[in-house]
Structures are given as structure tokens and as C-alpha cells.
Amino acid sequence: MVNQELTEKERVEKLKDGVSDNKHVFLLIFMNGCGPCNDTKPKWFEFEKTHQNDDNIVIVHIEQESIPEVASLIGESPGGFPCMRYLHNGKVEEYENCEKLDKSDLRSVESFDKWLKIKASKDHASHEKSQQGGKRKRTLKRGKKSKRGGKWSLKYKKSINCKHPKGFSQRQHCKYGRKNWKK
């Protein structure tokens, strides 16, 4: 049975069951009367039909009015509609934030399929770990704080006439900040 034929309450239950069973959940949150939502829904329904027999994958769509019921599952409230999310192992990822998708054709059945293959593949977890590999935090040596640059450029500092400074800042610079520079 395609999710389009289910009632809103049944779709919410399907979402809850998918998350609790630790399945790969692909979620479309839409708003009635929204133009982009109306354009996306037929493509999403086709996407649901093609993957309705997959055991480890749940593809579901819910109305924006159902968000309070599933707020703890879907993360923060959507910033706009339609909102497509991937839910798995307590993580929530936005469809638009997937780096491997072609940004020119985001809302097509092909891009939804590609998104599913990226996220639901068995080596996805190992791929994420390999992406995190080379990151190292930069640490400063204790006691030494290096300060580079400043408010004024060196050219400007050298152009200040300390015999006749213009304003408070230039007077302060001439009194305290100017070192023995050679012109």
C-alpha cells in the first residue's frame, strides 16, 4: 500500500515505527497550499512506490500540522517547506545539505533515488568515518598568544605625523604604540 492512500495518523505511526525499529527513514514534510510542496509531492509519491517493498527503508510524507506529534523524532522545526529529511540512529540530516547531490536538479525522482543510495548503503557509515579521518585541532602553546595584524595597516601607521597627530587615537598611537621605526 502506498503512503498516499494512508491516513495522516497512519503515516505518523509508520514514521514512529520506522524510527523505533532503527530503519532508514526518508521523510517529506509538506504544507497544504504550498506551491513548491505541490510540485514535489507527485515525485515523492513515485519515489515511495519504487521503494515500498524495501524492508530496511521507510519513505513517508506528513503534513506540517503533524509536526508536534513527531517533534522529538524529526529534530528542529523545518525552516521552510517542503522539507525532506533522513532519519537514522538518532541523526537527522536535511536533504538539501547532502554534498553529493547535483544542486541543479534537487527535486526529481532520480535525485531522491541517489540520495537514498548514498544514505542507505551499507558502507555509508564507514564512508562517514573515512571523511572524518584527517581532521586535527590546532592548539596554541600555553602561555604564548600570538597576535597577528591589527586595527591599522603598517602603511597607515607610518603615515601618522606624531608632531601633529589628528585626533585621540593618533595621539595614543604616538604616545604608546609607536616603536622606533625607520622611515
**Grid cell locating 92:** 537527522
> For domain 3-122, which CATH number applies: 3.90.1170.50, 3.40.30.10, 3.40.50.1110, 1.20.58.220?
3.40.30.10
Ranges of beta strands (E only) in 23-177 are 24-30, 57-63, 83-88, 91-94
pLDDT at site 43: 92
What pTM, to 2 d.p., does this model score? 0.62
* Domain parsing of the chain, residue ranges: 3-122
At 139, is the pLDDT very low, low, confident or very high (cuts 50, 70, 90)?
low
- Using one digit for the tens of pLDDT, what is the confidence trace for 165-181? 888 888 888 887 766 65
Q: Can you give the pLDDT at residue 46?
A: 92
User: Over the stretch 25-82, which tens digit does the pLDDT of each residue have?
Assistant: 999 989 988 898 899 999 999 988 988 888 889 999 999 888 888 888 888 888 888 8
Helix axes 109-120, 35-50, angle to 10 degrees: 60
